[in-house]
């Protein structure tokens, strides 16, 4: 059966999906409206950047950083640039983008936790020169993340981290990437929007809580008393739950000096009362 026809038959909201496809293809409506409807490319990227920027503005930040762990061919990094442009224009905030990668593709899986039944060494090799020629503002951070995460802040002096896209595939690499939060909390916002690419999957991937990115998240939460990664429950309670809603987590640092600062909309709260 034709794949498009199969998707149509399985779609519980075919008319909504068709409308969203038209909005995305022809850029109908404002960026904010299209983002709200997931009618943009990589809506999970746009969601994280936009909402991270809103939080940053309410906390008084003028610039933020967005990180992608696992760049590969660079389509994700280019998408981040496009979303950052729209968000920066709307909210008058600077957005820096950094992409971490070895440039050499996936390394050899270390053990079963890196899912060697699904990932192979050499997958997602980068053409570094070609990608750099396509990038406008994003910066590549090349090398082993176990080393580059340690030197990142000294080398690049980035604005505080507000959003992180995790696409390193492996458990071991994700563990190393999460060390980005093992620094002075002036380097990130009190709450950081995070997207994890490889935690849902399909019958071939069979991700579990005991391997891959899910295990890295669980161990991170076990290791820290005052730093936690939590699912975005507000997304999961929406009337229409997009598949990527399950892949959004919020990093919380309860000891961050700005964690308890009031940032909610008092007028909206009054209307809900």
CATH of the domain at 224: 3.40.50.150
**Is there a domain that residue 32 lies in?**
no
Q: Confidence class of residue 205 from pLDDT cuts 50, 70 and 90?
A: very high
Percentage of the residues of the chain whose pLDDT score is greater than 70: 94
The reported pLDDT for the residue numbered 200 is 96
> Which residues are bridge partners to 92 per DSSP?
none
Tokens coding 221: 């939460």
219 is in which domain, residue-wise? 41-260
Q: Which tens digit of pLDDT belongs to each residue from 78-94? A: 999 999 999 999 999 99
**Is there a domain that residue 198 lies in?**
yes
Radius of gyration for the alpha carbons in the chain, expressed in angstroms and rounded: 19
Q: Confidence class of residue 3 from pLDDT cuts 50, 70 and 90?
A: low
**Phi, psi (rounded to 5 degrees) for 30:** -70, 160
Q: Confidence class of residue 272 from pLDDT cuts 50, 70 and 90?
A: low
- The mean pLDDT value of the chain amounts to 95
Closest CA to 65 of 96, 93, 88: 96
**Is there a domain that residue 138 lies in?**
yes
For residue 261, the SS3 value is coil
Number of domains in the chain: 1
The reported pLDDT for the residue numbered 269 is 54
Closest CA to 86 of 57, 45, 133: 45
Give the torsion sign (CA, 248, 254, 256, 261).
Answer: positive
Q: Which tens digit of pLDDT belongs to each residue from 92-129? A: 999 999 999 999 999 999 999 999 999 999 999 999 99
The Cα 245–Cα 31 span in angstroms is 19
Q: Confidence class of residue 14 from pLDDT cuts 50, 70 and 90?
A: confident
The Cα 162–Cα 159 span in angstroms is 9
Provide the H-helix boundaries in 68-198.
75-91, 128-134, 145-156, 171-177
Closest CA to 58 of 268, 261, 251: 261
Left if phi > 0, otherwise alpha if psi is -120 to 50, otherwise beta: which for 114?
alpha
Q: Which tens digit of pLDDT belongs to each residue from 213-248? A: 999 999 999 999 999 999 999 999 999 999 999 999
**Is there a domain that residue 116 lies in?**
yes
The Cα 148–Cα 132 span in angstroms is 18
Strands 188-196 and 248-253: antiparallel
pTM as predicted: 0.95
**Is there a domain that residue 58 lies in?**
yes
Closest CA to 162 of 189, 137, 195, 138: 189
């Amino acid at each position: 059966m034709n794949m498009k026809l199969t998707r149509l038959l399985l779609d519980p909201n075919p008319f909504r999906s068709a409308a969203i496809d038209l909005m995305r293809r022809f850029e109908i409506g404002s960026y904010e409206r299209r983002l709200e409807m997931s009618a943009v490319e990589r809506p999970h990227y746009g969601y994280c950047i936009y909402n991270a920027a809103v939080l940053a503005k309410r906390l008084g930040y003028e610039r933020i950083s967005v990180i992608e762990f696992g760049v590969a061919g660079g389509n994700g990094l280019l998408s981040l640039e496009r979303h950052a442009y729209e968000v920066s224009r709307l909210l008058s905030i600077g957005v820096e983008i950094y992409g971490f990668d070895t440039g050499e593709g996936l390394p050899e899986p270390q053990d079963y936790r890196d899912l060697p039944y699904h990932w192979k060494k050499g997958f997602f090799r980068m053409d570094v020169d070609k990608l750099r020629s396509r990038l406008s503002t994003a910066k590549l951070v090349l090398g082993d993340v176990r080393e580059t995460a340690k030197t990142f802040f000294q080398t690049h002096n980035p604005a505080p981290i507000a959003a992180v896209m995790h696409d390193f595939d492996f458990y071991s690499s994700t563990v190393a990437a999460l060390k980005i939060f093992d620094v002075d909390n002036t380097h990130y916002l009190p709450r950081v929007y995070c997207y994890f690419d490889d935690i849902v999957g399909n019958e071939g991937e069979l991700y579990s809580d005991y391997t891959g990115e899910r295990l890295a998240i669980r161990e991170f939460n076990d290791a820290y008393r005052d730093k936690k990664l939590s699912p975005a429950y507000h997304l999961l309670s929406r009337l229409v739950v997009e598949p990527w809603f399950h892949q959004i987590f919020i990093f919380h640092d309860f000891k961050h000096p700005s964690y308890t600062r009031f940032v909610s909309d008092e007028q909206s709260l009054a209307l809900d009362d």
